Structures are given as C-alpha cells and as structure tokens.
Structure 1
Amino acid sequence: MFRDIVFNDIFTILLITGLVIIATAKLVAPQRFSDFSYILSNFKYLKIYSKHQKFLDKFDALLFGNFIISLSIFSYLVYQNITNTKIISINVLFKLAFGIGSFFLIKVLIERLLGSLFEIDKLIGHYIFQKISYRNFIGVILLPINALLIFTITPTLVIFNIIITLLLIINILGVITSFKTHQNVIKANLFYIIVYLCALEIAPYIILYNVLIS
C-alpha cells in the first residue's frame, strides 16, 4: 500500500509538471498553440511557423520539455509491465529523462551539421522543424494517456502495443508530410537524402533498440 502511494505521488508531480509546461506554452503563444493543436488535420501550422523558425525557440523548447517528461513516464510504465515490477525508481526515471533528452538533442545537432555539409540547410531545417512539431504533439497526447494508464486503466501489453502503434503512425505522418512538402528538392538531392535517412533516421534507432534489449 505504501509503495502504491509513493508511486502515484511521483507520477502525479510529473504529470502536473507536464501540464504546467503545456499551459505555459499556450500562455506564451496562444495563437500558435491553437494552430499547433490542429497539426494532424491542418498543415497551416507547419506552413506558417516553419518560415520563422529559430535555433532556440521558447515555444518548441517548452513542449520538448513536456515530451521528455511524458515519454519518460510512458517508457517506465512499459518497463514495469515487461519486468512485472511494482517498485518505482526515481534514479531510473531520471536516467530515462536524461537519456531521451540527450538522444534527441544530439540527433538534431548532428542533423543540422550534415545539412550544412551537404549544403541543404534550408531543406533539413524545415524537415527538423516538422519532426519536432509532430514529436511535441506526441508529448501532448501522451500526457492524458499516461494519466489514464496510471490512475484508471490497468496497463497490459496489448494496450501498450496499440498506443505505440498510434504514436508511430503520427510520427510516420510527419515524415510523409515533410517529403510531400519538399518532394522536388528531395528528388534533386536524392543521394544525400538517402545517406541522411540511413545515418540519422534508421541507424540511431537500431542502435538504441539493441542497447535497450541488451
């Protein structure tokens, strides 16, 4: 009973933190947040805000913070289900959050470096912006999903597989949108795009999967 109380308290704090971050992002840019919320059904957000993207963007940074928290919670819930453990480790949660944040930040930096080397900075910049936007949207979606998994629904492997499939579909939709938007430029730089995809969209996740399995 004591462990259940501690479990709920820790995740309640994290969920509230994520909610505060999202509320802050909405307060900082209300119109942008409104456009962002319709990203799956309307490409207005991507068309408008990709033109004014910055290397350090307050709105994206806030939502990325929520993404790290939400994905860390979800990953830990999956881990608990697989290992059938009821004990929560703050240390493991912190390592998850640090690992997730570092992985995506380093990946973006390397992507920008390759874009500069291949002289396709503008294309890669737009592509990264779209990926970050869909990733941040996943973070927003995960917040209520995590709350349901913690306080309402008893998590099962089937439920986790359904959620993961949904998140993958959203992520793939983001990639397809990017390719449709820049298909002419992509055709003109097909070799570099293939190298880029193999190096930074396939290899990192294979390596990460192998690390997690080991």
Structure 2
Amino acid sequence: MHHSAAHTGSHSRIQHASVSTRSTHRGTRVASSRHHAHVIQCVAYAKTASDVMLRGNARDWWHNAAGVYDRGQAPEAGSVLNFRGTRRMPLGHVAVVRNVIDNRTITIDQSHWAQAGVSRNVAVIDVSPNNDWSAVRVALNSGSGNYGSIYPTYGFIYPRHEGSGPSLRQTVMTAWDKKATATQLAQAPATATPAAAEQEAAAETAAAPQNDGAVSFGSEE
C-alpha cells in the first residue's frame, strides 16, 4: 500500500510517506510507515520563483548568464541575487529578490538556506564599501534582528535579455534611491570587501558552526 506525497503548510518540504506490512510470529500483519522529507534546492526554487532560467550549480549562474540575461550590481525586484562559492558554501547560492527597501536593504525569497526549506521575505543587507552588493549579510531565522556571516556575491541577474535595457520598474527604483534618505530600516554592520568576506567565511569554518546559511547547497538537482 502506498500513500501519495503530501505537502506541508509551505512548499518547502515534500513529504513522502510509504507504508509497509510485516507478519508477526502470531500471524498478525502489522503496518509501519516511513516518512522522507526532501528540501527543494535553491536553484530549483529560483527557477520556479523567477523568470531566470539557467543551468548549472548556483556558483555557475553568473557566468552562464553572460550573453543571455542582463547582470548588474543594483537590486531589482524579480532579479536573482547570486552568491559566490566559498569554503563553507562551495556550490554557491541563489535567491530571488522580493522587494527593494532602500539602497542597502532588500528582502528575498529562497530555499535550502541553513538546511531549511523555503523562507520568504528574508532581509539582506549590503555591507560592501562601495554599495555594489558584492558582500552581504542575511537575516537569521530567529527573528531577533541579527544577521549572519558576510558572504561574497557576484551581483544580480535580471529577468530580461542582455542589452534590452532597464525595465520601467528598475528606472523608477533608481530614481527613488536617489531621493532616499540616509535612514535605513536595518542597521548595516561595518563594511567589508569581498576578499575579507571570503576570509571571514573561511575562518568561521574552523570555528564552531553557526546556523546562518553556511550549509546551503546550490546544486541544480
């Protein structure tokens, strides 16, 4: 007897339940069940949650997007934030930009960060010295307002063909950013260069592990 896959409240985990039977010494057949959970990989989720369709592991998306999609250093709703591979996160990571809050803060939707399922509306802050989003911190799941380690990124992959120019939304957001006040909704930590970000990530590998996304696996499976 086999039960079809059942979904939990969110689509982050797909539960597969199978039921098997066995005979006891008294001849009574006893049913036992096993549950297996599968977490959606960040690459698979990004493909379904955005209009960016690329092959390869997350760390390969930036280079694979060349000649196909526009890329840049400015966040835009609907774009894909592409994390570089590090020692703690060798396959990289991709996340879909949900909203641009200000020139240093965005929210993202993602999957398989810190071995979790789909997480939505997660705050990310830019801590790069040049405000080019080459180094970021992701909010922790605790809801405490704290942020995790610094991670280097390539930038943003936009869901439009290369050379097609900015969308109307991006033009509006650029104009808005120019008028934005210095007040930010999230207090950004001290800035850091991408090289420093990789060094920090490598250093923390030898230290006690933290549940801040270091074990994300950006494979395309």
State the TM-score, normalized to the length of structure 1: 0.31
Q: Which is greater in Rg?
A: 2
Between Structure 1 and Structure 2, the one with more helix by share is: 1
Between Structure 1 and Structure 2, the one with more strand by share is: 2
